[in-house]
Amino acid sequence: MPKKRVLPYIILGILKQNPGLSGKEITEQFTCEIGEFWKASHSQIYPELKKMLADKWIEKRSKEDNAKEIDYFLTLNGKSVLKEWIDQPLELPVNRDPFSLKMFFINDKDDPRVNELIDEEKRLLKEQLAHLKMREALLFDDEKRIQQNYGHYLILTRAISRIEGQIAWLKSIK
Amino acid sequence: MPKKRVLPYIILGILKQNPGLSGKEITEQFTCEIGEFWKASHSQIYPELKKMLADKWIEKRSKEDNAKEIDYFLTLNGKSVLKEWIDQPLELPVNRDPFSLKMFFINDKDDPRVNELIDEEKRLLKEQLAHLKMREALLFDDEKRIQQNYGHYLILTRAISRIEGQIAWLKSIK
DNA sequence: CGGTCCATGTAAACCGTTACATGATTAA
DNA sequence: TTAATCATGTAACGGTTTACATGGACCG
């Protein structure tokens, strides 16, 4: 049994919310919108798009004979494939967390590296928190936008809540 | 530049805390102790052990001519390699979270899948929370054990706090 | 023209999972 | 003794990252 594929479903989701994006624009989505939850580089995305074209999950419409810009759209088939994926049972991910790993291997409570790791992790989390709060202020400044992109709003507030919780925990142990 | 390797350092850490483990026993550590933070199957671990032997990070001492059980120990070199890795700058991991991904693609606040996803995620988190609390009760029932495995204690309480926070958030949005 | 940028594309190396294989020990 | 089990090992496949390549567009 092959490992579960996720990337094509993410691309389907991106294209459903933003019909007509190019490969480049899809790549940018991974750095900004869903970068907290998945990373993918263009060298993964372009071959994946070709495969999805071959499978008739998406179609392309090169507008104005411009050879460079290629715009992709979901097919009806692609829409149902996306629906099916969302309805598949959830699984909890493994949290590959370098902070926890390194801390795990320090036995002595008074090891100076304990506080070093805590400070470094706190700094990183605060950076990420600032970024997420900026996104929240930018994207969801009124109730209407929340209603129209409810899932996006939820996971953004969830990520913020998660990081705030982690920072609070880090503060609580010092 | 190759991608950062993590597995050998985890194995070093495991062997530092449990000198003389076999490949099988190292594999078991990944299912129970650090399974929240990293997964690795035996088919990854055995070749990695051979590579670490060749690099003189670990050494083996087959006791009693028993061909089956192979016990591994850190070399002095391996100890310093582990120290170096812990001192490397931290990086925040990408949280590959299926729940967030799927939720991201649901736009309508009243889509029934919103609550389905929330309920399913809540169930999974409660399962994991129960497991972690069991581990906590089992491993850290007195202050002395906490002092002697402080890092392990920290990351266990951190994971518990994280999951409790996520569950609380899930409850808060319904 | 000539050079640079840019969207797209390709190649190579490594990681991780799944499935299968081996050889010794144990159990019926 | 045969069968099952177990620790170890190997093979194949796909995913991900890094680096490099192409070919048109834009600008001097």
pLDDT of residue A168: 97
In this structure, the answer to whether residues A45 and A115 fall within a common structural domain is: no
Closest-CA distance of chain A to residue B162, Å: 7
pLDDT of residue A63: 57
In this structure, the answer to whether residues A49 and A17 fall within a common structural domain is: yes
Residue environment code for B128-151, b if the CB has 16+ CB neighbours within 10 A, otherwise e: bbeebeebeeeebeeeeebeebbb
Q: State the count of interchain CB pairs (< 8 A) between A and B.
A: 184
A3 Cβ contacts chain C strand, under 7 Å: yes
pLDDT of residue A4: 77
Percent of chain A scored above 90 by pLDDT?
86
Residue A92 resides in a domain: no
pLDDT tens for B11-58 read: 999 999 999 999 999 999 998 889 989 999 999 999 999 999 999 999
CA B153 – CA B10 distance, rounded (Å): 17
In this structure, the answer to whether residues A19 and A68 fall within a common structural domain is: yes
In this structure, the answer to whether residues B116 and B82 fall within a common structural domain is: no
In this structure, the answer to whether residues A11 and A83 fall within a common structural domain is: yes
Answer whether B124 sits within 8 Å of A91, measured CB to CB.
yes
For residue A3, pLDDT over 70 is answered with no
Closest-CA distance of chain B to residue A160, Å: 10
Residue A112 resides in a domain: yes
List of residues 6+ apart from B138 with CB closer than 8 A: none
CB < 8 Å to B102, chain A: 85-86, 90, 151
Residue A119: which domain range? 98-172
Domain closes at, from A31, A59, A87: A87
Answer whether A173 sits within 8 Å of B154, measured CB to CB.
yes
Q: Please provide the average confidence, as pLDDT, over all residues in chain A.
A: 92
Dihedral class, residue B68 (left if φ above 0, else alpha if ψ from -120 to 50, else beta): alpha
Domain closes at, from A58, A87, A116: A87
Residue B15 resides in a domain: yes
Total domains, chain B: 2
Compute the residue count for chain B: 174
For residue B174, pLDDT over 90 is answered with no
Q: Both tokens of residue B25?
A: 């026993």
Find out whether B56 and B80 touch, Cβ atoms under 8 Å.
Answer: no
The CATH code of the domain that includes B51 is: 1.10.10.10
In this structure, the answer to whether residues B62 and B109 fall within a common structural domain is: no
CB < 8 Å to B6, chain A: 96, 98, 101
In this structure, the answer to whether residues A81 and A102 fall within a common structural domain is: no
Domain closes at, from B55, B87, B119: B87
pLDDT of residue A70: 80
Q: Please provide the average confidence, as pLDDT, over all residues in chain B.
A: 92
In this structure, the answer to whether residues A102 and A70 fall within a common structural domain is: no
Closest-CA distance of chain A to residue B13, Å: 6
For residue A1, pLDDT over 70 is answered with no
Residue B2 resides in a domain: no
In this structure, the answer to whether residues B124 and B150 fall within a common structural domain is: yes
In this structure, the answer to whether residues A139 and A75 fall within a common structural domain is: no
pLDDT of residue B69: 66
Instruction: Report residue A61's pLDDT band, with 50, 70 and 90 as the boundaries.
Output: confident
Answer whether B98 sits within 8 Å of A98, measured CB to CB.
no
For residue B64, pLDDT over 80 is answered with no
In this structure, the answer to whether residues B31 and B57 fall within a common structural domain is: yes
A109 Cβ contacts chain D strand, under 7 Å: no
Percent of chain B scored above 70 by pLDDT?
94
pLDDT tens for A113-125 read: 999 999 999 999 9
Answer whether B108 sits within 8 Å of A150, measured CB to CB.
yes
Residue B1 resides in a domain: no
In this structure, the answer to whether residues A103 and A63 fall within a common structural domain is: no
Mean of pLDDT values over A86-107:
93
C1' (D10) to CA (A1) span, angstroms = 18
pLDDT of residue A5: 86
Residue B134 resides in a domain: yes
CB < 8 Å to B85, chain A: 102
Mean of pLDDT values over A6-32:
94
Mean of pLDDT values over A126-137:
95
Mean of pLDDT values over A44-61:
94
CB < 8 Å to B100, chain A: 36-37, 155, 158-159
